[in-house]
């Protein structure tokens, strides 16, 4: 049966949480007013052909407004820098006109040291007024939908303006940091709430990603407790803001903005909350700034539920709808769906413009059975060899680098490691000519007689290639079917031993073997503020994946857990960790850890408790890197299969077992529950206390 309904206000009902009225208004500390005024000027006074040269710390100090020309900007910056250094030497008389103007921007008692620092912090800010107007116009398509999500979740309505900061309401926006879509999700963070793979990238759907953004902000607030921090964490990550709170000892946003010196807490992170406050002010007074705004109308959609895998072109023809129109209205479906090398996934809800559709109460009956399939078209993987890069692989298979980067969700600059699987387009002519002639398309819908489970030979597909004519190593080609997941409650094997995390007996010390990790390179003198070496790359033993420290930190950006090592060599035990993990990462016996902590075999390892460690055989940096890698891989693997669709606030009752409730009722691993309840001591839960449980949904492929 097809599902047919108007799409405009489809909102998840999975959130059951009511915030108080005080939490629905964003705080506006007076200390932030000057920064807010700066951003109001950026959004309303200057366009993208012009900009400001200003002080990066004190945004009330604007030196000049210039045309956006690199040479002009650089020359003017050098002039300002030279004049600041003159003033920093204490000169206050016989000044040039420019030096007088600069000095008058500063308080009369400005210190010379501050002027020296200012000379090193002259920043260029491009104007945004024309872009803001375009964002206002585009926002008409989505604003009512976004507002309804926010109202349903009882969140601050001001959050609806965040796309102005992120993308100017452009659903196709891409950033240099590999963030995508109107809400600018990175891949790792986005996978918590959306399906992101080589067929579907829901970051590009402005409606799905809007709900995901509110789920993320709701999560941030649950963890951090204030909206200024939750909003800043949207840019800097919950992990980073949690670290900022620990290091500054405060949740005050102004103090964190001014005092926190985290490695990646730069200008964008410090100003993210301020920019949203400025956006809200500009939106409230848009007509006074810009005159009449021509807001775009919200389109009306009908959703078609794909009850099978469907060929996109055939689907469009059967409905007498332009393929280009369906493509534009379903941006989450990637290009391989539209060129026919992949099918519209089963279970996907295809948005169709209500106007122009055939008059039928049963759209599914209009789809020809020849366009329906029971399985997805198989993936073709190339196993990278020594010396390969994307350009070499692209040339080898006569495809574009752009195609490979899209299919594999890579940046063009990404390193390719020997042994890494690289997806190839299914319609590749070179492969098609050399595959056996008995290659079959996916079985027609309803016919599953030819189903095979072998990873290399599915539906009669072989991986034989004419080596002599094409000089391609056949051992490097794998043809596999798209992964399948059981559509049921989360298998407990995925929950990483949560049934014993709070009660690890002496028999469990050797039951679990931690991931074996090799430190490829480590320079002990180059430790950054995240406790990791900038030069370390991590190789998971048994695979060829090389993980950079930046990737590792990004993978844990939504994890508020404290993985640091205290000055007295103790750590805080986190969910899913056992003594055998620690012994593996330290290269010592679990018994040695028990002796060091005066623990008997009857003593339990408790989540949240302190554990003293011995770093005789590994450095603290190596241990912390291995530990974070373990949690990173566990979480990434989990969110490839499941996504968060909402939350439920549960009141603890007598005789409740939180672990059993998490698994049996909400199908949630305990490590994820502890992330949502980061400030709760799970060993001292009381009756009547509220616990937040994430509501999960299977990623249907």
Residues annotated as part of the active site: 166
Distances (CA, A) of 101 to 62, 77, 83, 86, 87: 11, 15, 10, 13, 11
Residue 349 has, within 13 A of its CA and on its CB side, a CA count of 14
Residue carrying structure tokens 């931690």: 514
- Dihedral sign of CA atoms 180, 185, 188, 191 in order: negative
What is the SS3 string spanning 594-659?
Answer: HHHCCCCCCCCCCCCCEEECCCCCCCHHHHHHHHHHHHHHHHHHHHHHEEEEEEEEEECCCCCCHH
Tokens (6 digits) for 655: 């005789």
Q: What is the CA radius of gyration of the chain?
A: 28
Question: What is the distance between the alpha carbons of residues 181 and 160, in angstroms, rounded to a whole number?
Answer: 15
Residue 559 has, within 13 A of its CA and on its CB side, a CA count of 24
Question: What is the distance between the alpha carbons of residues 156 and 10, in angstroms, rounded to a whole number?
Answer: 19
Question: What is the distance between the alpha carbons of residues 640 and 60, in angstroms, rounded to a whole number?
Answer: 45
Element (H, E) at 317: helix 312-319
Q: Which of 334, 437, 427, 338 is nearest to 378 (CA)?
A: 427
Q: Which of 243, 274, 242 is nearest to 257 (CA)?
A: 274
Distances (CA, A) of 482 to 164, 189, 371, 700: 37, 23, 19, 11
Distances (CA, A) of 341 to 24, 328, 337, 432, 588: 47, 18, 6, 12, 51
Question: What is the distance between the alpha carbons of residues 162 and 140, in angstroms, rounded to a whole number?
Answer: 14
Q: How many CB atoms lie within 10 A of CB 210?
A: 26
Q: Which of 505, 490, 534, 539 is nearest to 519 (CA)?
A: 539
Distances (CA, A) of 386 to 235, 463, 523, 543: 37, 21, 25, 15
Question: What is the distance between the alpha carbons of residues 518 and 541, in angstroms, rounded to a whole number?
Answer: 7
Q: Which of 583, 563, 585, 532 is nearest to 635 (CA)?
A: 563
Question: What is the distance between the alpha carbons of residues 438 and 427, in angstroms, rounded to a whole number?
Answer: 16
Q: Is 310 helix (H, G, I), strand (E, B) or coil?
A: strand
Question: What is the distance between the alpha carbons of residues 379 and 427, in angstroms, rounded to a whole number?
Answer: 11
CA angle 6/330/13 to nearest 5° reads 45
The answer to whether the beta carbons of residues 137 and 293 sit under 8 Å apart is: yes
Starting at the earlier edge strand, list the strands of the sheet with 62-67.
Answer: 62-67, 50-55, 122-126
Catalogue the E-assigned strands of 434-542: 477-480, 517-519, 537-540
The answer to whether the beta carbons of residues 473 and 385 sit under 8 Å apart is: yes
Helices (H), 184-307: 187-190, 206-224, 227-236, 238-248, 253-259, 267-284, 286-290
The answer to whether the beta carbons of residues 618 and 645 sit under 8 Å apart is: no
């Amino acid at each position: 049966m097809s599902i047919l309904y108007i799409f405009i206000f489809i909102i998840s009902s999975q959130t059951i949480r009511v915030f108080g009225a005080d939490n629905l208004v964003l705080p506006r500390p007076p200390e932030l007013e000057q920064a807010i005024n700066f951003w109001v000027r950026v959004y309303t006074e200057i366009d993208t052909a012009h900009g400001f040269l200003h002080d990066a710390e004190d945004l009330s100090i604007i030196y000049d407004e210039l045309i956006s020309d690199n040479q002009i900007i650089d020359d003017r910056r050098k002039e300002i820098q030279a004049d600041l250094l003159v003033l920093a030497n204490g000169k206050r008389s016989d000044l040039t006109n420019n030096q007088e103007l600069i000095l008058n921007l500063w308080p009369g008692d400005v210190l010379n040291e501050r002027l020296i620092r200012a000379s090193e912090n002259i920043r260029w800010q491009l104007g945004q007024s024309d872009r803001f107007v375009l964002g206002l116009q585009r926002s008409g398509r989505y604003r009512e939908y976004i507002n309804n999500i926010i109202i349903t979740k009882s969140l601050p309505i001001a959050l609806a303006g965040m796309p102005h900061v992120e993308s100017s309401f452009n659903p196709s926006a891409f950033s240099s940091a590999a963030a995508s879509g109107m809400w600018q999700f990175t891949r790792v963070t986005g996978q918590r709430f959306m399906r992101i793979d080589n067929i579907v990238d829901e970051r590009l759907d402005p409606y799905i990603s809007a709900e995901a953004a509110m789920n993320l902000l709701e999560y941030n607030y649950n963890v951090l407790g204030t909206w200024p921090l939750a909003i800043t964490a949207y840019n800097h990550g919950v992990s980073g803001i949690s670290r900022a709170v620990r290091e500054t000892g405060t949740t005050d946003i102004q103090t964190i903005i001014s005092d926190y010196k985290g490695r990646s807490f730069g200008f964008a992170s410090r100003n993210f909350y301020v920019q949203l406050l400025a956006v809200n002010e500009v939106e409230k007074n848009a007509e006074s700034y810009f005159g009449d705004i021509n807001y775009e109308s919200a389109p009306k959609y009908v959703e078609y539920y794909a009850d099978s895998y469907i060929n996109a072109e055939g689907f469009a023809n059967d409905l007498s709808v332009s393929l280009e129109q369906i493509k534009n209205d379903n941006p989450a479906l990637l290009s391989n769906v539209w060129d026919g090398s992949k099918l519209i996934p089963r279970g996907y809800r295809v948005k169709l413009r209500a106007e122009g559709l055939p008059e039928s109460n049963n759209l599914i009956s209009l789809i020809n059975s020849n366009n329906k399939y029971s399985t997805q078209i198989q993936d073709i993987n190339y196993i990278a060899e020594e010396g390969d890069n994307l350009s070499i692989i692209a040339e080898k298979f006569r495809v574009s680098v752009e195609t490979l980067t899209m299919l594999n969700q890579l940046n063009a600059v990404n390193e390719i490691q020997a042994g890494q699987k690289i997806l190839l387009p299914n319609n590749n002519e070179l492969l098609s000519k050399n595959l056996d002639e008995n290659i079959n398309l996916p079985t027609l819908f309803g016919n599953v007689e030819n189903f095979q489970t072998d990873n290399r030979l599915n539906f009669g597909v072989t991986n034989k290639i004419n080596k002599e004519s094409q000089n391609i190593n056949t051992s490097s080609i794998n043809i596999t079917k798209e992964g399948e997941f059981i559509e049921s409650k989360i298998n407990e094997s995925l929950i990483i031993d949560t049934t014993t995390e709070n009660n690890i007996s002496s028999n469990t010390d050797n039951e679990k073997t931690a991931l074996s990790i090799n430190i490829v390179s480590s320079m002990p003198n180059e430790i950054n503020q995240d406790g990791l070496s900038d030069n370390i790359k991590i190789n998971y033993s048994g695979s060829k994946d090389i993980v950079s420290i930046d990737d590792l930190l990004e993978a844990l950006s939504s994890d508020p857990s404290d993985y640091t090592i205290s000055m007295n060599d103790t750590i805080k035990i986190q969910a899913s960790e056992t003594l055998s993990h620690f012994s593996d990462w330290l290269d010592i016996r679990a018994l040695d850890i028990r002796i060091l902590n005066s623990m008997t075999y009857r003593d339990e390892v408790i989540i949240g408790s302190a554990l003293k460690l011995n770093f005789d055989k590994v450095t603290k940096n190596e241990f912390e890197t291995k530990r974070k890698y373990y949690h990173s891989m566990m979480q990434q693997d989990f969110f490839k299969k499941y996504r968060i669709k909402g939350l439920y606030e549960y009141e603890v009752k007598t005789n409740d077992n939180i672990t059993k409730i998490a698994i049996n009722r909400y199908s949630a691993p305990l490590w994820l529950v502890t992330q949502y309840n980061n400030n709760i001591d799970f060993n001292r839960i009381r009756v009547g206390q509220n616990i937040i449980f994430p509501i999960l949904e299977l990623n249907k492929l």
